[in-house]
Structure 1
């Protein structure tokens, strides 16, 4: 994928941002969220609680404004996310808000859906 500016990436459709996040996470072996003194940022839609995830520190930092201004980007190594976060989020019935931007929450998916897109397929 060609290098795009953050402004170009954030202007993409939610589905395109999802695809972009998957490729970046695979390439960089890390995923980003935001945290404050109480832990990870949680977003609530009408029906579900989500943890937002971004492909880079820069993208996550863009969200840290207004009520989130005290939040810091948190890098999660991909292996840790796959081993601990996916099952932990499922146990807590949390979903992933994939690469939200200021006026768009992005695609909201179960953690195992994102895991399935990131992990290489194994043949049996």
Structure 2
């Protein structure tokens, strides 16, 4: 995927980006986040809520790493591990998912359990297995 193709996806409407995210995650069976020396990157929204930026593949995380979070490393998380072990704990800790975070800290903010339910349904109905 080229740099300009990545930029084109970032320019899609929120609805189309969200669908693209789920489709790519179903294909790759992973999500990507960024870590620094202190752990996983999170940001706060204008309501003071904690958000964890996630991308559906390495290329999108790399784009944001290079353009905003230069001192980070890209980490992949197995999507099934993420569903089973991460999302309920994130909800408990008050952390939301920021789907397709962009270089201006925009993205699609989703409640962790809502995200979990939507992704489980999507994977069960769109699995290639």
TM-score normalised by the chain length of structure 1: 0.86
* Per-residue CA distance 1:89-109 (angstroms, 9 max, x = gap): 011010001111123611101
Query: In the aligned structure 2, how far is the partner of 1:91 from the partner of 1:16?
Result: 29
Change (3 A) 1:66 1:7: closer
8 Å contact from structure 1 (residues 49, 94) kept in 2: yes
Q: CA deviation at 1:14?
A: 2.2
Match of 2:127 in 1: none
Match of 1:28 in 2: 28
Report the aligned-residue RMSD.
Answer: 1.9
The 5-angstrom pairing of residues 9-24 of structure 1 reads 9-24=9-24
- In structure 2, the gaps of 5 or more residues are 125-129
8 Å contact from structure 1 (residues 22, 117) kept in 2: no
Query: In the aligned structure 2, how far is the partner of 1:66 from the partner of 1:16?
Result: 23
Q: CA deviation at 1:112?
A: 1.5
After TM superposition, where is structure 1 displaced by more than 3 Å over at least 4 residues in a row? none
8 Å contact from structure 1 (residues 15, 106) kept in 2: no
